[in-house]
């Protein structure tokens, strides 16, 4: 059995471990137009982890190779993409010394309308050992591997049973993550890697009515079954009583309950972009403003440095006519990446920054309409 070890991660010239972070809310729109499947999420992480985040495209047929070890850097599972996809690429700072040129994704949507997304889960614990290097899938490769290979949840589940998912010891406690998958049939799956009663890491897959009845709502800790249990306490909270008792905080549980209940009573908006607009409105309810969720990270040899966990990026996905709609912390205008205009048979080397810097004038942050009131 191979033992997969890891040394300290260097990011932007400092060594650090991130501590309490809430991070992210995910759902699939309940009452969308009959032929539409729409999902969305917020991405809430410490700013220092998102300074190099871009949308990237991977074409059909692209060969990707995962890792079976970091020290030394050794190859793992290899595959050629069956589907082209677009995703939010991050973790570049973590992996810059390994698997050069390989992208790691927080969120992906493929041309078949299947999405996969990472969210924070403090309890996450991945296997640290593998038995077959050629079958080893480094855990940060999960979204890209899923988007490149699968169309339905059944295919994803079968694929997960055929690989050895692993994390270097220490990295999965620095970046503890769980995974949500939606497909174009409006089905959802939540996958969590946690310790069992014997302190061994195991993979728990939640799907079917358990997830679909709550439309794939997912936030962070605690683990998914406990989140559902807490939701039972709010079954009498509804529009008729103005959602009396509905929690309004930014904690992980508060966001899970609030998004679940508001989505439960969401109504279809009868105009062309109504589903997209409604998805953004629901995500507004779990948006974390800068300064509302203080967090901190620990620099080894220096100590605790305060920071802020806030909504850096909000995305809405169209699974029926695949497209990303998104807005960022600096730029609240909605932008679109339309898959029908992408040739997934060709490579695309360009990246789209998720949060254009106004100092660089990469994107206007507003539309000036003053001229309507000016003399002609």
Please list, in sequence order, all residues whose beta carbon lies within 8 angstroms of the beta carbon of residue 326, skipping any fewer than 6 positions away.
55, 313, 314, 315, 316, 334, 335, 336, 337, 354
Q: What is the pLDDT along the chain (376 residues), one digit of tens a residue?
A: 444 433 333 333 333 334 445 579 999 999 998 889 999 999 986 654 555 789 999 999 999 999 998 777 789 999 999 999 999 997 655 555 566 678 899 999 999 999 999 999 999 999 999 999 999 999 999 999 999 999 999 999 999 999 999 999 888 888 899 999 999 999 999 999 999 999 999 999 999 999 999 999 999 999 999 999 999 999 999 999 999 999 998 899 999 999 999 999 999 888 889 999 999 999 999 998 877 665 655 544 445 555 567 788 999 999 999 999 999 888 888 999 999 999 999 987 788 888 766 545 556 677 888 988 987 6
Fill in the DSSP letter of residue 218. B
**pTM for the full predicted model:** 0.89
The C-alpha R_g of the chain, in whole angstroms, comes to: 20
- Which pLDDT belongs to residue 83? 98
- Which pLDDT belongs to residue 4? 40
Please list, in sequence order, all residues whose beta carbon lies within 8 angstroms of the beta carbon of residue 115, skipping any fewer than 6 positions away.
39, 107, 108, 109, 147, 181, 182, 183, 317, 319
Q: What is the C-alpha to C-alpha distance for residues 197 and 200, in angstroms, rounded to an integer?
A: 7
| Under 8 Å between Cβ of 54 and 326 | no
- Which pLDDT belongs to residue 144? 98
Distance (Å) of CA 276 to CA 40, 172, 250, 326, 373 = 9, 34, 23, 10, 31
Report the alpha-carbon angle 120-126-127, nearest 5: 175
Considering only the top CATH level, what class is 2-373? alpha beta
């Amino acid at each position: 059995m191979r033992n997969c070890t890891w040394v300290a991660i260097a990011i932007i010239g400092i060594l650090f471990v991130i501590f309490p972070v809430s991070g992210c809310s995910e759902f699939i729109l309940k009452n969308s137009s009959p032929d539409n499947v729409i999902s969305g999420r917020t991405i809430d992480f410490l700013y220092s982890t998102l300074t190099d985040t871009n949308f990237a495209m991977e074409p059909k047929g692209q060969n990707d190779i995962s890792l079976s070890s970091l020290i030394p850097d050794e190859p793992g599972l290899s595959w050629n993409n069956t589907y082209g996809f677009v995703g939010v690429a991050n973790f570049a700072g973590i992996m810059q010394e390994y698997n050069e040129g390989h992208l790691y994704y927080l969120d992906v949507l493929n041309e078949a309308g299947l999405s996969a997304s990472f969210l924070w889960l403090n309890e996450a614990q991945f296997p640290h050992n593998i038995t077959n290097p050629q079958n080893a899938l480094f855990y940060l490769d999960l979204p890209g591997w899923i988007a490149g290979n699968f169309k339905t949840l059944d295919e994803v589940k079968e694929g997960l049973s055929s690989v050895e998912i692993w994390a270097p010891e220490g990295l999965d406690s620095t970046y503890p993550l769980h995974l949500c998958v939606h497909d174009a049939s409006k089905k959802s799956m939540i996958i969590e890697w946690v310790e069992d009663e014997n302190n061994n890491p195991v993979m728990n897959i939640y799907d079917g009515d358990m997830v679909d009845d709550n439309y794939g709502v997912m936030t962070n800790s605690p683990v998914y079954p406990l989140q559902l249990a807490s939701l039972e306490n709010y079954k009498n909270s509804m529009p008729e009583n103005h959602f009396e008792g509905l929690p309004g905080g930014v904690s992980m549980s508060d966001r899970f309950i609030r998004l679940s209940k508001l989505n439960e009573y969401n109504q279809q908006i009868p105009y062309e972009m109504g589903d997209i607009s409604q998805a953004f409105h629901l995500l507004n309810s779990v948006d974390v403003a800068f300064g509302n969720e203080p967090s901190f990270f620990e620099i080894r040899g220096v100590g605790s440095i305060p920071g802020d966990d806030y909504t850096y990026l909000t995305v809405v996905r169209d699974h029926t006519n695949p497209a990303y709609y998104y807005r960022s912390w600096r730029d609240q205008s909605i932008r679109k990446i339309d898959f029908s205009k992408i040739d997934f048979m060709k490579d695309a080397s360009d990246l789209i920054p998720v949060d254009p810097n106004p100092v660089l004038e990469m994107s206007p942050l507003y539309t000036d309409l003053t001229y309507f009131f000016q003399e002609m």
